Structure 1
Protein backbone atom coordinates (compact mmCIF):
# COMPACT_ATOMS: atom_id res chain seq x y z
CA UNK A 1 0.00 0.00 0.00
CA UNK A 2 1.30 3.47 -0.89
CA UNK A 3 2.25 5.87 1.88
CA UNK A 4 0.10 8.93 2.56
CA UNK A 5 2.80 11.47 1.68
CA UNK A 6 3.53 10.17 -1.85
CA UNK A 7 3.00 12.69 -4.64
CA UNK A 8 1.54 10.81 -7.57
CA UNK A 9 1.86 11.86 -11.19
CA UNK A 10 4.54 14.42 -10.49
CA UNK A 11 8.06 14.93 -11.77
CA UNK A 12 10.92 17.28 -11.07
CA UNK A 13 10.16 20.71 -12.49
CA UNK A 14 6.44 20.07 -12.82
CA UNK A 15 4.19 23.08 -12.41
CA UNK A 16 1.62 23.23 -9.62
CA UNK A 17 -1.61 21.27 -10.16
CA UNK A 18 -3.66 24.47 -9.95
CA UNK A 19 -1.50 27.39 -11.16
CA UNK A 20 -4.17 29.97 -10.25
CA UNK A 21 -3.54 29.26 -6.60
CA UNK A 22 0.09 30.42 -6.73
CA UNK A 23 0.44 32.87 -9.61
CA UNK A 24 -1.57 34.93 -12.03
CA UNK A 25 -0.98 34.32 -15.72
CA UNK A 26 0.55 37.19 -17.70
CA UNK A 27 -1.93 39.38 -19.58
CA UNK A 28 -2.28 38.16 -23.14
CA UNK A 29 -3.45 39.43 -26.51
CA UNK A 30 -4.49 37.51 -29.60
CA UNK A 31 -2.56 38.10 -32.84
CA UNK A 32 -3.76 36.76 -36.19
CA UNK A 33 -1.54 35.80 -39.12
CA UNK A 34 -2.56 34.77 -42.66
CA UNK A 35 -0.60 32.61 -45.11
CA UNK A 36 -0.72 32.58 -48.93
CA UNK A 37 -3.35 29.80 -48.77
CA UNK A 38 -5.66 32.09 -46.71
CA UNK A 39 -5.29 30.03 -43.54
CA UNK A 40 -5.76 32.10 -40.39
CA UNK A 41 -3.34 31.40 -37.52
CA UNK A 42 -4.29 32.89 -34.16
CA UNK A 43 -1.63 32.94 -31.46
CA UNK A 44 -1.55 34.32 -27.93
CA UNK A 45 1.28 36.66 -27.02
CA UNK A 46 2.11 38.50 -23.83
CA UNK A 47 0.88 42.09 -23.96
CA UNK A 48 4.38 43.54 -23.63
CA UNK A 49 5.95 41.14 -26.19
CA UNK A 50 6.61 42.35 -29.72
CA UNK A 51 4.82 40.34 -32.39
CA UNK A 52 7.12 38.64 -34.92
CA UNK A 53 6.78 39.70 -38.57
CA UNK A 54 6.06 36.16 -39.77
CA UNK A 55 4.74 32.96 -38.22
CA UNK A 56 4.76 29.47 -39.72
CA UNK A 57 1.29 28.25 -40.71
CA UNK A 58 0.62 24.96 -38.87
CA UNK A 59 -1.67 23.72 -41.67
CA UNK A 60 0.52 24.16 -44.75
CA UNK A 61 3.94 25.24 -43.42
CA UNK A 62 4.08 28.49 -45.41
CA UNK A 63 5.10 31.75 -43.75
CA UNK A 64 2.15 33.82 -42.52
CA UNK A 65 1.99 37.59 -42.01
CA UNK A 66 -0.32 39.99 -40.22
CA UNK A 67 -1.62 41.61 -43.43
CA UNK A 68 -4.53 39.47 -44.63
CA UNK A 69 -4.53 40.87 -48.18
CA UNK A 70 -0.75 40.77 -48.65
CA UNK A 71 0.66 37.56 -47.08
CA UNK A 72 4.39 36.75 -47.36
CA UNK A 73 5.54 35.05 -50.54
CA UNK A 74 6.33 31.37 -50.64
CA UNK A 75 9.97 30.70 -49.73
CA UNK A 76 12.21 29.99 -52.70
CA UNK A 77 13.85 26.59 -52.43
CA UNK A 78 17.45 26.50 -53.54
CA UNK A 79 18.45 23.54 -55.69
CA UNK A 80 21.04 21.10 -54.42
CA UNK A 81 24.58 22.27 -55.11
CA UNK A 82 27.49 19.93 -55.52
CA UNK A 83 30.91 20.50 -54.01
CA UNK A 84 32.15 21.52 -57.45
CA UNK A 85 29.45 24.22 -57.72
CA UNK A 86 30.58 25.75 -54.41
CA UNK A 87 34.23 25.67 -55.55
CA UNK A 88 33.30 27.37 -58.84
CA UNK A 89 31.59 30.15 -56.87
CA UNK A 90 34.80 30.84 -54.92
CA UNK A 91 37.37 30.50 -57.72
CA UNK A 92 37.62 31.93 -61.22
CA UNK A 93 38.73 29.87 -64.23
CA UNK A 94 42.15 31.55 -64.11
CA UNK A 95 42.57 30.56 -60.45
CA UNK A 96 41.59 26.98 -61.27
CA UNK A 97 44.15 26.82 -64.12
CA UNK A 98 46.91 28.14 -61.82
CA UNK A 99 46.09 25.63 -59.07
CA UNK A 100 45.96 22.77 -61.60
CA UNK A 101 49.33 23.77 -63.10
CA UNK A 102 50.87 23.92 -59.61
CA UNK A 103 49.48 20.49 -58.68
CA UNK A 104 50.70 18.95 -61.95
CA UNK A 105 54.17 20.45 -61.42
CA UNK A 106 54.29 18.92 -57.92
CA UNK A 107 53.29 15.49 -59.25
CA UNK A 108 55.89 15.65 -62.04
CA UNK A 109 58.57 16.68 -59.54
CA UNK A 110 57.74 13.69 -57.31
CA UNK A 111 57.96 11.34 -60.27
CA UNK A 112 61.27 12.82 -61.38
CA UNK A 113 59.91 14.04 -64.70
CA UNK A 114 61.11 17.32 -66.09
Structure 2
Protein backbone atom coordinates (compact mmCIF):
# COMPACT_ATOMS: atom_id res chain seq x y z
CA UNK A 1 0.00 0.00 0.00
CA UNK A 2 1.33 3.45 -0.89
CA UNK A 3 1.28 6.57 1.26
CA UNK A 4 -2.01 8.33 1.81
CA UNK A 5 -0.81 11.74 0.61
CA UNK A 6 -0.14 10.71 -2.99
CA UNK A 7 -2.03 12.62 -5.66
CA UNK A 8 -2.73 10.29 -8.53
CA UNK A 9 -3.86 10.97 -12.06
CA UNK A 10 -3.29 14.71 -11.98
CA UNK A 11 -0.77 17.04 -13.48
CA UNK A 12 -0.11 20.74 -13.36
CA UNK A 13 -2.73 22.64 -15.35
CA UNK A 14 -5.25 19.83 -15.47
CA UNK A 15 -8.70 20.21 -14.08
CA UNK A 16 -12.15 21.29 -15.09
CA UNK A 17 -11.56 25.05 -14.96
CA UNK A 18 -8.60 25.30 -17.31
CA UNK A 19 -9.47 27.42 -20.31
CA UNK A 20 -9.39 30.97 -21.63
CA UNK A 21 -11.08 32.22 -18.47
CA UNK A 22 -8.08 31.05 -16.42
CA UNK A 23 -5.26 31.82 -18.86
CA UNK A 24 -6.65 34.98 -20.36
CA UNK A 25 -7.50 35.75 -23.95
CA UNK A 26 -5.07 34.54 -26.57
CA UNK A 27 -3.61 37.15 -28.90
CA UNK A 28 -5.15 37.44 -32.36
CA UNK A 29 -3.07 35.49 -34.85
CA UNK A 30 -2.49 35.20 -38.57
CA UNK A 31 -1.15 32.17 -40.43
CA UNK A 32 1.51 32.64 -43.12
CA UNK A 33 2.29 30.10 -45.85
CA UNK A 34 5.91 29.12 -46.58
CA UNK A 35 7.33 26.71 -49.20
CA UNK A 36 10.84 25.26 -49.39
CA UNK A 37 12.78 24.08 -52.47
CA UNK A 38 11.64 20.48 -51.77
CA UNK A 39 8.00 21.54 -52.06
CA UNK A 40 7.19 21.21 -48.37
CA UNK A 41 4.47 23.53 -47.11
CA UNK A 42 4.36 24.97 -43.58
CA UNK A 43 2.02 27.52 -42.04
CA UNK A 44 3.35 28.98 -38.78
CA UNK A 45 1.14 31.47 -36.98
CA UNK A 46 2.23 34.94 -35.87
CA UNK A 47 0.61 37.62 -33.76
CA UNK A 48 -1.19 40.19 -35.89
CA UNK A 49 1.18 42.97 -34.81
CA UNK A 50 4.36 40.87 -35.22
CA UNK A 51 6.78 41.37 -38.08
CA UNK A 52 6.55 38.36 -40.42
CA UNK A 53 9.99 37.09 -41.57
CA UNK A 54 10.69 36.72 -45.30
CA UNK A 55 12.17 33.24 -44.75
CA UNK A 56 11.31 30.42 -42.37
CA UNK A 57 13.22 27.17 -41.78
CA UNK A 58 11.26 24.19 -43.13
CA UNK A 59 10.33 21.92 -40.20
CA UNK A 60 10.59 18.80 -42.39
CA UNK A 61 13.93 19.21 -44.17
CA UNK A 62 15.56 22.33 -42.66
CA UNK A 63 15.92 24.22 -45.94
CA UNK A 64 14.96 27.89 -46.02
CA UNK A 65 11.33 28.42 -47.04
CA UNK A 66 9.83 31.53 -48.62
CA UNK A 67 6.35 32.91 -49.14
CA UNK A 68 6.43 32.54 -52.94
CA UNK A 69 5.40 28.99 -53.83
CA UNK A 70 6.83 29.19 -57.36
CA UNK A 71 10.18 30.72 -56.33
CA UNK A 72 11.38 29.26 -53.01
CA UNK A 73 14.75 30.47 -51.69
CA UNK A 74 17.80 28.42 -52.70
CA UNK A 75 19.44 26.06 -50.23
CA UNK A 76 22.21 27.53 -48.13
CA UNK A 77 25.72 26.75 -49.27
CA UNK A 78 27.47 24.42 -46.85
CA UNK A 79 31.01 25.49 -46.08
CA UNK A 80 33.36 22.52 -45.83
CA UNK A 81 35.20 22.00 -42.56
CA UNK A 82 38.47 23.90 -42.41
CA UNK A 83 41.36 23.06 -40.15
CA UNK A 84 43.32 25.67 -38.24
CA UNK A 85 46.11 25.26 -40.77
CA UNK A 86 43.74 26.08 -43.65
CA UNK A 87 42.73 29.37 -41.97
CA UNK A 88 46.39 30.23 -41.35
CA UNK A 89 47.23 29.54 -45.00
CA UNK A 90 44.47 31.95 -46.06
CA UNK A 91 46.07 34.75 -44.03
CA UNK A 92 49.76 34.08 -44.64
CA UNK A 93 51.92 33.29 -47.65
CA UNK A 94 54.37 30.39 -47.75
CA UNK A 95 57.29 32.83 -47.32
CA UNK A 96 55.68 34.42 -44.24
CA UNK A 97 55.18 30.98 -42.75
CA UNK A 98 58.81 30.00 -43.31
CA UNK A 99 60.03 33.28 -41.74
CA UNK A 100 57.85 32.72 -38.65
CA UNK A 101 59.02 29.11 -38.39
CA UNK A 102 62.69 30.12 -38.67
CA UNK A 103 62.20 32.78 -35.98
CA UNK A 104 60.51 30.29 -33.63
CA UNK A 105 63.22 27.68 -34.23
CA UNK A 106 65.93 30.26 -33.53
CA UNK A 107 64.29 31.17 -30.20
CA UNK A 108 63.98 27.49 -29.31
CA UNK A 109 67.63 26.80 -30.13
CA UNK A 110 68.67 29.83 -28.08
CA UNK A 111 66.74 28.52 -25.04
CA UNK A 112 68.11 24.99 -25.30
CA UNK A 113 71.67 26.20 -25.87
CA UNK A 114 72.29 24.70 -29.28
TM-score by length of 2: 0.79
User: Deviation of residue 72 (structure 1)?
Assistant: 0.8
TM-score by length of 1: 0.79
Does 1:93 find its partner at 2:86?
no
**Aligned with 2:32: secondary structure?**
strand
Counterpart for residue 29 of structure 1: 30
Matches within 5 A, 1:1-114: 8-10=10-12, 18-22=18-22, 23-113=24-114
Distance 1:15 1:72 in 2: 43
Greater shift in the superposed pair: 48-57 or 87-96:
87-96
Uncovered stretches (5+) of structure 2, i.e. residues with no partner: none
The 3 A distance-change label for structure 1 pair 70 and 15 is farther
Change (3 A) 1:27 1:70: same
Segment of structure 1 superposing worse, 102-111 or 18-27: 102-111
Which sections of structure 1, spanning at least 5 residues, go unmatched? Answer: none
SS in 2 for 1:9: coil
